[in-house]
Chain A
Amino acid sequence: MSRKVFIGCGAGFSGDRIDAAVPVVRTLSRLDGERFLIYEVLAERTLAIAQKLRRDDPDKGYSPFLDAYLSRVLADCHAHGIRIVTNMGAANPLGAAKRVQALAAELGVRGLRVAAVTGDDLLATLSEAEILAHPRIEGLDPEVRKLVAANAYMGARPIAEALATGAHVVLVGRTTDAALSLGPLVHVHGWGENDLDLLAQGTVCGHLLECGAQVTGAYFADPGFKDVDDLAHVGFPIAEVDAHGELLITKAADTGGLVDRATVIEQLLYEVHDPRNYLTPDVTLDLGEVTVDQVGLNRVQVSGARGKEPPATLKATVCFDAGWLGEGEITYSGPNALARARLAASVVRTRCTEIGITERVRVDVLGTQAVFDGDAPQRRPTVEFPADGEYRVRAAARSAHRHIAQQVADEVLSLYCSGPAAGAGVRQNVTAQIGTASILVDRAHVTPGITVVDAS
């Protein structure tokens, strides 16, 4: 009988809490079974940023957070036989693997085997024109822009193969987030390509873990309605999965947070469209009959996922330079603040027009549920807001030209001396933008490769 698999998650995005994995590793170290720690740090745009880093330095292009995340856990994981699977490889999994070995040497961790999974980078095998000829299913029209990155979403199999080399740490670039968990499950339990229901349960496991604490009470708390104890110390999730696909979600011991039906159901449907047809490279997931049951304190069982054949094609994300976003903000507080903020907004609009900015400029008054508003002139009807209070004016514009984005931000700055009374706290941001589109590619274009990097 195969052993139970425990998978803990240490990060759900590239800005996630740097030390969240420490209690996860402590908990895993006391468990008996095959144990894994995953980190998901590769949003669509994150990979494009990494690709630019690699262009500047061929040894770089992996997650800039790799050292910060792994230096805290590498020695303990290795001492306790906890294997690490992460997409910190980003645009350079092999470079990441070498860096992990160097880190191990610095930390005095001996006998570490690291594996890099490659093959997702379409720019390595196809020309730009070939990439852009593929059918686009979503996003910007890339034809008119400069391509930065193009990566196909690989599935769980290459990760399972990498683990089969005996690697203690597996670094991948673009795979589905769920594959970070499904890969270890396929490796340990030996699930085949036709074990569709098992692959479905494993994909649910990965889907629930991939956003870190979003399944353990974070992105959830709503005081008085959905209370979560000690959110400041929210524990990151741990899944237990047996060979039959029985799946239990819990969290690191001695932490805050909450695992109950509500936290799990919210995450189960997070970024899902048709729950009966969730496409992944490994399986088409059907969540239609899934049940979620509380089986203990902070222990929730998830059952009944069904699997269908995966799609013939793979999804790929194409990233390209998309100009600049300029933003400026200023605050008005106290008596009649709303009227002063609205006057400031109107001054910015007038000025932007008169200095000849032809780009769309959006000006909001934050504090008036502005994130719910549509772009001007379409505004949300209804709600009245107090005349006195604290309101923050925000102007934003996108432009192909940095100086124009800057000009819009500067129109907010100038309100200090040239706007309504008592404008305060100006902040400006001008940031390079990366646009994305999703395309479908033939599986034949994606050949996974595995490179083992042993300690020298």
Chain B
Amino acid sequence: MNEVDVPLHAVAHARAGDKGNRSNVSVIPYLPEAFPYLLAQVTEARVLEVFAHKGATACSRYVLPRLPAMNFVIDNALEGGVNYSLGLDGHGKSLSFMLLGDIVVRVPEHCVPTHRQPR
């Protein structure tokens, strides 16, 4: 089985939301066959590492096997959130794409959908 290293963005999509200083980011594989590889590799520890420079202190992962999808909840990820943050994105709406870009996963080739080139 031929395995490839790809950014998470190639095999999954994500959406970020906020409640106060806590961010949640869903991670959803394009193809269900990728899910076991994501479960093994996109761990709480790795996600926390991606948010570490923002001051994140904890990360919990919730698994929804029947979708399939994962939901990450990252504490203190938003520099205080919209109450405190001086950044342009106090809600952390863009952080789903930080995660998709910063995490690289190793998956069998058949788990990577053929994305067409952007128009």
The answer to whether B66 touches A291, judged by C-beta atoms less than 8 angstroms apart, is yes
Among residues of B, the one whose C-beta sits closest to the C-beta of A363 is B86
Question: Taking chain B's interface residues, is the majority helix, strand, or loop, or is none over half, making it mixed?
Answer: mixed
* B17 contact set on A, CB distance < 8 A: 270-272
Determine whether A269 belongs to the interface, using a CB cutoff of 8 Å to chain B: yes
- Is A290 on the interface with B (CB-CB < 8 A)? yes
Looking across the interface, which residue of chain B has its beta carbon closest to that of A359? B86
- Chain A residues within 8 Å of B15, by CB: 219-220, 266-267, 269-270
CA distance A397 to B86 in the complex (A): 6
In the complex, the answer to whether A269 meets B71 with C-beta atoms within 8 Å is yes
Closest approach, in angstroms, between the C-beta of B44 and any C-beta of chain A?
14
Q: A22 contacts the other chain (Cβ, under 8 Å)?
A: no
Instruction: Report if A374-B79 is in contact (Cβ < 8 Å); known contacts: A266-B28, A273-B24, A362-B86.
Output: yes
Classify chain B: how many residues form its interface, as a range: 35 or more
Tell me if B64 and A290 are in contact (CB < 8 A). yes
**Which residues of the partner chain A approach B71 to less than 8 Å between Cβ atoms?**
269, 272-273, 275
Q: Are B69 and A265 in contact (CB under 8 A)?
A: yes
CB distance from B4 to the nearest CB of A (A): 17
- Count residues of chain A with CB under 8 A from any CB of chain B: 57
Assess the B62–A139 pair: CB atoms within 8 A: no
- Taking CB atoms, residues of chain A closer than 8 Å to B73 are 273-274
> What per-residue 1/0 map shows which CB atoms of B7-41 lie under 8 Å from chain A?
00100011101111110101010100000000000
Given contacts A140-B83, A224-B118, contact A380 B64 (CB under 8 A): no
Query: Cβ of A262 < 8 Å from any Cβ of B?
Result: yes
Interface assignment of A438: CB less than 8 Å from any CB of chain B: yes
Contact A225 B88 (CB under 8 A): no
Instruction: State the CA gap A140–B81 with chains docked (Å).
Output: 10
Contact B86 A396 (CB under 8 A): yes
Task: List 8 A-B pairs, minimum CB-CB distance, nearest first.
Answer: A271-B17, A224-B118, A362-B86, A269-B26, A371-B89, A266-B15, A223-B118, A374-B53
Cross-chain pairs A/B with CB under 8 angstroms, 26 sampled: A45-B82, A138-B21, A139-B20, A140-B83, A223-B118, A262-B28, A265-B28, A268-B67, A269-B15, A269-B71, A270-B26, A272-B71, A275-B71, A287-B64, A290-B66, A291-B67, A322-B83, A360-B86, A364-B88, A372-B94, A372-B98, A374-B55, A374-B79, A394-B88, A435-B83, A438-B20
Residues of B bordering A, CB below 8 Å: 9, 13-15, 17-22, 24, 26, 28, 30, 53-55, 60, 62, 64, 66-67, 69, 71, 73, 79, 82-89, 94-95, 98, 115-119
* Chain A positions near chain B (C-beta within 8 angstroms): 45, 138-140, 219-220, 222-227, 262, 265-276, 287-292, 304, 322, 325, 360-362, 364, 366, 369-375, 378-381, 394, 396-398, 435-436, 438
